[in-house]
Amino acid sequence: MRVCIFGTGYVGLVTGTCLAEVGHDVVCVDIDAAKVDGLNNGIIPIYEPGLTPMVRANHAAGRLRFTTDAASGIAHGDIIFIAVGTPPDEDGSADLKYVLAVARTIGQHLQAPAVVVDKSTVPVGTADRVRAAIAGVLAERGADIAFDVVSNPEFLKEGAAVEDCMRPDRIVIGADSAAAIDKLKRLYAPFNRNHERIVAMDVRSAELTKYAANAMLATKISFMNEIANIAEQVGADVEMVRKGIGSDPRIGWHFIYPGAGYGGSCFPKDVQALAKTAQQYGVQPRLLDAVEAVNDAQKGHLFELLVRHYGSEAALRGKTVALWGLAFKPNTDDMREASSRRLLQQLWGAGAKVRAYDPEAMRETQRIFGGRDDLVLCDSANAALRGADALVVVTEWKQFRSPDFALLKASLADRAVFDGRNLYEPADIEAAGLAYYGIGRGR
């Protein structure tokens, strides 16, 4: 099938590439000429396992093209995806200016009936606004062309996006017309083998489904972080509690890992946007507000542990802290809303220096914080330890899981390890002669 995708960011690029991979004919449109140029030359702007070879192979096969020419993309697509960004507005609601600009562009160039698909995460009611924007421009043109607007939210995880896209656990399609649902079912047929993955519903339910999924996952994390804080005070180990509750299938093992707070481009933004929607419709989002507040506090927890260890914030002045992990989670270079950013600011605010290492996010760190005297970017985890007083682990990269304990002891002048993701057994660190602080592991 002939597909056009607006936006070659995370969602658009992965979706377009996976659709090409199963044989569809895909044109991706982006206003960023340099990015389009790069993509046509096999340069992929994001780090995502498996994506680069897949883009290159499908581009070489002629099934995946990149252009800045919206008109040609729209002429190509029987199905036109909107996968542009929805950054948070001042007040936490999603800013739809890019989505609606694409809708108007579609209205300007549409020549034949098409299905327009909202793929970006957009508030309930956006499909109606997209429909109105397209219809408005068509009316100005005096053009009478039939089109459908469908909500088809994505459930990709950064770091596993290609895998999630190729093997989705569900494909949510929200549409008001049977013909549009049918068309999307044909598009997704190659991903729908072995058992039925398509869940068809009305547009607004599909839009809300996306927010409900992310808010539920964020709630699980904030819940566990709150339990961790209680465990810390009552002298319990939250890791034991986690094991004690996860085996109940109603609770489950996933997303109950306490830590330094959730980050990324999705959970923080989506929880706030859903709360905003609730308020706009007269519902007080008590739980969502609490999920957000707990997470915000949790991002400051590692710093509180450092202050507890050193006795006061003032005692951190002149200290050098080794920081392992800058990305908001492993297998990505993405630092949006990362907990490391809060910690860096707090450490610098207290007059401490930081020696930082992340397997993928060094370039991004340089872009955001480069040029500071109190930040040294290191080229390995062990290099970050050199001359440091204490170690803080913020991101749960696999390569941080088995450190050389003797080297830690020899390197860290103050012999203290702050484990923001509970990667280590306290006993192992303590046996090596270092003080251990985890999340929710007694006092």
Q: Is residue 155 involved in binding ligand UGA (CB under 6 A)?
A: yes
Residue indicated by tokens 């006092």? 443
For the chain, the 3-state helix, strand and coil shares in percent, each to the nearest 5, are: 45, 15, 40
Interface with ligand UGA (CB under 6 A), residue from 6, 47, 66, 267: 267
The residue annotated as part of the active site, out of 18, 28, 165, 266, is 266
Stretch that binds ligand UGA, among 72-80, 89-97, 154-162, 239-247 (CB under 6 A): 154-162
Q: Is residue 94 involved in binding ligand UGA (CB under 6 A)?
A: no
Residue 304: exposure state from Cβ atoms within 10 A (0-12, 13-18, ≥19): middle
CB closer to ligand UGA, 216 vs 410: 216
Q: Do residues 298 and 440 touch, judged by C-beta distance below 8 A? A: no
266 is annotated as an active-site residue:
yes
Q: Do residues 56 and 15 touch, judged by C-beta distance below 8 A? A: no
Q: Do residues 420 and 393 touch, judged by C-beta distance below 8 A? A: yes
Stretch that binds ligand UGA, among 180-188, 252-260, 364-372, 380-388 (CB under 6 A): 252-260
Q: Please, what is the minimum distance in Å from the beta carbon of residue 328 to ligand UGA?
A: 4
The string of DSSP codes covering 216-247 is: HHHHHHHHHHHHHHHHHHHT-BHHHHHHHHHT
- Site map (CB under 6 A) of ligand UGA, residues 290-329, x = contact: --------------------------------------xx
CB closer to ligand UGA, 157 vs 415: 157
Per-residue buried b or exposed e for 146-182, using 16+ beta carbons within 10 Å of the residue's own CB? ebbbbbbbbbbebbebbebbbebeebbbbbeeeebbe
Q: Do residues 121 and 46 touch, judged by C-beta distance below 8 A? A: no
Sign of the alpha-carbon dihedral angle for 279, 281, 284, 288: negative
Which residue type occupies 405?
Answer: F
Of 225, 259, 364, 277, the C-alpha closest to 88 is: 277
> Is 259 assigned a ligand-binding role in the annotation?
yes
As a whole number of angstroms, the distance between CA 347 and CA 96 comes to: 36
Phi, psi of 3 (to 5 degrees): -125, 140
> Is 263 assigned a ligand-binding role in the annotation?
yes
Phi, psi of 233 (to 5 degrees): -80, -35
CB closer to ligand UGA, 292 vs 389: 292
- Site map (CB under 6 A) of ligand UGA, residues 96-135, x = contact: -------------------------x--------------
> Is 257 assigned a ligand-binding role in the annotation?
yes
- In 88-153, which ranges are E strands? 114-118, 147-151
CB closer to ligand UGA, 195 vs 254: 254
Of 179, 189, 123, the C-alpha closest to 151 is: 123
Interface with ligand UGA (CB under 6 A), residue from 188, 255, 348, 405: 255
- Site map (CB under 6 A) of ligand UGA, residues 325-364, x = contact: ---xx-----------------------------------
Q: Is residue 156 involved in binding ligand UGA (CB under 6 A)?
A: yes
CB closer to ligand UGA, 301 vs 329: 329
> Is 347 assigned a ligand-binding role in the annotation?
no
CB closer to ligand UGA, 47 vs 328: 328
Q: Is residue 206 involved in binding ligand UGA (CB under 6 A)?
A: no
- Site map (CB under 6 A) of ligand UGA, residues 38-77, x = contact: ----------------------------------------
> Is 211 assigned a ligand-binding role in the annotation?
no
Q: Is residue 223 involved in binding ligand UGA (CB under 6 A)?
A: no
Interface with ligand UGA (CB under 6 A), residue from 221, 352, 390, 429: 221
Interface with ligand UGA (CB under 6 A), residue from 114, 208, 217, 375: 217
Which residue type occupies 253?
Answer: W
As a whole number of angstroms, the distance between CA 50 and CA 4 comes to: 22
Stretch that binds ligand UGA, among 122-130, 148-156, 279-287, 367-375 (CB under 6 A): 148-156
The string of DSSP codes covering 200-211 is: EE-HHHHHHHHH
- 400, HSE (Cβ side, Cα atoms, 13 Å): 30
List interacting residues with ligand UGA (CB under 6 A).
Answer: 121, 154-158, 214, 217, 221, 255-257, 259, 262-264, 266-267, 328-329
Annotated binding site for NAD(+): 30, 35, 86, 121, 158, 269, 336
Q: Which residues are annotated as a binding site for substrate?
A: 155-158, 210, 255-259, 263, 329
Active site residues: 266
